């Protein structure tokens, strides 16, 4: 926990200025727009790597522009939407099993709309079917609502994590979801899931909403990841299940780091579970807060702490290798591959300073990737990357001298654009290029005891 206090000081000293260059030129491709769309659609639909490579090679030989491909990715054909209203008893296949879920889609939904999505995770003993009805009333028909079910509400387990994202992608495929207004909420065990999934995949959500829950100090290190993900915490003073001190500590950490957090304590007591519930008086402020939230896909500052089981990209940065990294995994109710080991947590802070200049700070960091698009950099000019070490010095973390690690032009890569979209299906987060940097020689010394 002492690292967090030092990080608070470091985080508060960083400043940045985003690049505001012009739009990418829109040259005519070497094939017709209809043929281009057919090729892109086939690339996205196939599971055959050989076909992917063939299509990518064809597009590159035809010198198809990134602007044309991005236009197609952002404007997928409008499909008829699925059934609307309250739908309970639905099922989805996952890992050779069937999992139930409930869904609500406003009756007024039309193709071409852009509706916010609220994902709500139930607690132990709950289900999607019994979780969704009060939320339909609370959100007044303005949101698509998704309530999956998982045994014991163990949303921290790897299969549950994957199930949540599989369902989100399914709903986004069938209904007009605004990818920049997806919220993740949960109560009790479900709120642990909201914390954990939100911390490990913060760039996927416009906000996370943990209700009547908490996380242990071991996982509070990962609150660093919520720099750009607003958090709305609701906790009862008289909650007999999760001590109020846990939520107060989370709020204090986020507040000290000057992160976007709203913390609500209530003193109400329910007849069955004391203060372990969501009071009606807290609904209106929450709904009003949600109306104000929208994800920023390309924030100027990205901050992350990572362990070996969660090394995915956050916004435009990915930590790919750390020094003797820990693998943390909480057990779930189903058999799943286990990857647990003692070790270190790797830290990376990335800043976009403008004028094609970036700074990266890291502790226990070996390799990382940076992703770029025309909103972030001018591809006609060199990109300069400055790196700096965070070094443990007794009870403090100090910084090394800055060094220039990269200073050259970056080439656009259609593979980065197409494979990146295919993995995440996120039309609001498209990248034209990436670079991978290895700092093993300069950072490896941080691993020595």
Taking residue 435's Cβ as centre, other Cβ atoms within 10 Å add up to 16
C-alpha angle 251-125-91 in degrees, rounded to nearest 5: 105
pLDDT of residue 401: 86
The pair phi, psi for residue 109, each rounded to 5°, is -60, 135
Each residue's pLDDT tens digit, 227-276: 999 999 999 999 999 999 999 999 999 999 999 999 999 999 876 677 89
pLDDT of residue 391: 81
pLDDT of residue 440: 60
Contact of 148 with 101, CB cutoff 8 Å: yes
Length of the chain: 449
Give the C-alpha separation, 283 to 239, whole Å. 18
- Positions of the chain with pLDDT under 70: 1-30, 76-78, 271-272, 440-449
Sorted by where each begins, the domain ranges of the chain are: 2-19+298-447, 85-291
Retrieve residue 387's tokens: 């790196």
Give the C-alpha separation, 427 to 245, whole Å. 40
**Radius of gyration of the chain measured on its C-alpha atoms:** 23
Contact of 187 with 123, CB cutoff 8 Å: yes
Give the C-alpha separation, 118 to 193, whole Å. 14
Contact of 264 with 232, CB cutoff 8 Å: yes
Angle of helix 2-12 relative to helix 244-256, nearest 10 degrees, comes to 30
What is the domain class of 85-291 according to CATH? alpha beta
**DSSP E strands, 271-423:** 301-306, 317-322, 346-354, 357-363, 365-372, 383-393, 396-399, 403-408
Buried b / exposed e along 315-350 (16+ C-beta atoms within 10 A): bbbbbbbbbebbebbeebeeeeeeeeeebbbbbbbb
Contact of 348 with 361, CB cutoff 8 Å: yes
């Amino acid at each position: 926990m002492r690292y967090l206090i030092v990080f608070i000081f470091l985080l508060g000293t960083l400043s940045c200025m985003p690049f505001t260059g012009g739009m990418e030129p829109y040259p005519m491709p070497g094939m017709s727009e209809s043929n281009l769309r057919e090729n892109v659609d086939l690339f996205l639909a196939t599971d055959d790597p050989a076909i992917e490579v063939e299509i990518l090679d064809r597009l590159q030989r035809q010198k198809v522009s990134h602007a044309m491909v991005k236009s197609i990715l952002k404007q997928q054909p409008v499909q008829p939407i699925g059934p609307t209203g309250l739908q309970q008893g639905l099922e989805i296949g996952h890992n050779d099993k069937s999992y139930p879920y409930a869904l609500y889609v406003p009756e007024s939904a039309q193709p071409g709309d852009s509706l916010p999505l609220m994902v709500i995770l139930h607690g132990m003993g709950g289900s999607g079917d019994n979780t969704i009805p009060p939320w339909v009333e609370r959100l007044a028909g303005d949101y698509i609502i998704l309530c999956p079910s998982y045994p014991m509400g163990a949303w921290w387990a790897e299969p549950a994590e994957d199930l949540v994202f599989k369902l989100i992608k399914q709903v986004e495929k069938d209904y007009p979801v605004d990818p920049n207004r997806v919220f993740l909420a949960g109560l009790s065990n479900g709120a642990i899931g909201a914390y954990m999934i939100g911390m490990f995949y913060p760039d996927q959500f416009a906000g996370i909403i943990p209700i009547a829950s908490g996380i242990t100090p071991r996982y509070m290190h990962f609150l660093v990841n919520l720099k750009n993900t607003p958090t709305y915490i609701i906790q009862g003073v008289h909650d007999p299940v999760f001590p109020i001190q846990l939520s107060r500590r989370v709020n204090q950490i986020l507040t000290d780091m000057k992160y976007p957090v709203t913390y609500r304590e209530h003193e109400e007591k329910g007849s069955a579970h004391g203060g372990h519930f969501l009071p009606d008086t807290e609904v209106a402020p929450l709904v009003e807060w949600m109306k104000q939230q929208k994800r920023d896909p390309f924030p100027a500052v990205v901050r992350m702490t990572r362990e070996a089981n969660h090394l995915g990209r956050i916004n435009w940065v990915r930590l790919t290798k750390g020094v003797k990294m820990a693998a943390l995994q909480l057990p779930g109710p189903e058999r799943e591959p286990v990857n647990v080991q003692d070790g270190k947590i790797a830290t990376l802070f990335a800043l976009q300073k403008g004028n094609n200049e970036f700074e990266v700070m890291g502790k226990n960091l070996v390799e990382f990737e940076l992703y770029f698009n025309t909103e972030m950099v001018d591809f006609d000019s060199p990109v300069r990357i400055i790196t700096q070490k965070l070094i443990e010095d007794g009870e403090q973390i100090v910084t090394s001298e800055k060094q220039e690690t990269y200073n050259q032009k970056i080439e656009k890569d259609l593979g980065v654009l197409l494979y990146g979209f295919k993995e995440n299906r996120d039309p609001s987060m498209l990248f034209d290029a990436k670079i991978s940097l290895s700092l093993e020689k300069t950072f490896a010394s941080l691993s020595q005891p």
